[in-house]
Amino acid sequence: MPHTATFTAVDLGASSGRVITGRVGRAELRLAEVHRFGNHPVRLPSGLHWNAPGLYREVLDGLRAAAAHAPVSVGVDSWGVDYGLLDATGALLGLPHHHRDGRTEGVAHAVTDAFGPQALYAANGLQFLPFNTLFQLAAARGGPQLDAAATLLLIPDLLAYWLTGQRGAEVTNASTTGLLDVRTRRWSASLAEAAGIPLSLLPALRHPGQRIGPLLPDAAEETGLADTEVTAVASHDTASAVAAVPALTGRFGYISCGTWSLAGLELPGPITTGAARAARFTNELGIDGTNRFLRNIMGLWLVQESLRAWDLRDDALPALLADAARAAPFASLIDAGDSRFLSPGDIPSRIAGYCRETGQPAPDGRGELLRCVLESLALAHRATLRRAAALAGRDIEVVHLVGGGARNELLCQWTADALGLPVVAGPVEATAIGNIIVQARAHGAAADLAGLRRLVHDTQELRHHSPSGDRTAWDAAAARLGLE
């Protein structure tokens, strides 16, 4: 790699996507967003789907904009679990289902019971979530698309296939499916059987930093990137975000905060004990053979859906957060993991209903509701990280909160207050940065993970939040939710 070089991250989130270029050098990491677009699911008679061809169209538009920066390579990351099916010719068999579609209701528990809950957890290490790929496939059994399928590709692998013609499954995202053996890090025949699919449906695994191939002629012509190749990154967005955690110590906890909050620890191997399963922790793969021991928390989805229910845009949020800061503390609290908050809809009404059912006053106004949400998320962060540390037998010295939630100073400060630990907020674009630095390393940049994290620490804007005040009120609030 020359002294400095440019790389392009295609970073797809559940509500929006972006194409970002990163200029990387020995002490340089500069980002430029060249394209941003909405990611809107489509509800059809067959259920809730992702508009995968529309996303690909936006990716091509973004890569065309990135061409002016002459990137060396492109990497694609997205959320986990969702997939497209290809027939023997490589054609997509229908639009991929959205993980919030209700088709797995009932199926997930039946499959888990048949396999054995602890046996399943010991095999794939995943927190029970009804939308895991294994359960989606079980729900699709007997359907014409699955019967006709020759290859399953997760969303970033599908886009990489359309760009390069090369099929594969990047391992960090594959680890979200429930079909990967968490210890051997290979596809599991017994888990595929539980899903009702042949093992041959699952493509060869690839690893972060592996070169996938050059763009196909049509994609190269349309984007102007004739000399650019696609590189496998940590294609699960949380894996990329954790790779970009600017930690200078190994004793850190992380919260990748966006639509979901993914909170946990980076460990050398999985923890699949009965206690870890009962605490609803998941084991997913990270870069360099690491294990992401974490729990999914509902996250800022609750805020996003509340804004949508109120017919407000994101630019209304600062004023609402100011109202939340002035609202009475701990007036009402919710379990952010309650299943009623999972599907799209009128989240404010569901929060009010939860509060009434639990003998609490319904939030009186939008600021009060946002305070309820953010305090509840801070308590969920506290409970998750404390439990992770206890299960792993590891102390936490600092918490790194990365992703879009790093902009939310109330959430960051209340997380520090609830935990009694310093919180370092940022970088906001952690997922794109993780994507870019893995590409850069594959092309000759810093050799180890510590070096990549030092680069992020030294070049990106970070905010430091020290715990303030007496934690007695936070302890009492946690007890109200049964989190202690």
- 186 forms bridges with which residues in the sheet? 181
- For residues 61 and 8, is the Cβ–Cβ distance under 8 A? no
Start-to-end CA span in the chain (Å): 51
Q: Tell me, what DSSP letter sits at residue 289?
A: G
Residue 103, token pair as written in the block: 């088709």
Of the residues 11, 82, 101, 237, only one is catalytic, namely: 237
Contacts 24+ apart (CB under 8 A), 481-484: 481/333, 481/335, 481/376, 481/379, 483/379, 483/380, 483/382, 483/383, 484/383
69 and 6 Cβ atoms separated by less than 8 Å: yes
DSSP β-bridge partners for residue 206: 170
The single-letter code of the amino acid at 102 is G
Tokens of 464: 């430091």
- DSSP reduced 3-state for 114: helix
Helix axes 52-66, 155-164, angle to 10 degrees: 60
Determine the Cα–Cα distance for residues 166 and 140; give it in Å rounded to an integer: 25
- Count of other CB atoms within 10 angstroms of residue 234: 33
Task: Report d(CA 312, CA 314) in Å as an integer.
Answer: 7
237 belongs to the catalytic site? yes
> CB neighbours (10 Å) of residue 74?
31
Which of 293, 321, 316 is closest to 413 using CA atoms? 321
Could you tell me whether strands 205-206 and 169-170 are parallel, antiparallel, or unpaired per DSSP bridges?
parallel
Cα three-residue angle 167-171-176, rounded to 5 degrees:
110
Instruction: Cite the active site residues.
Output: 237
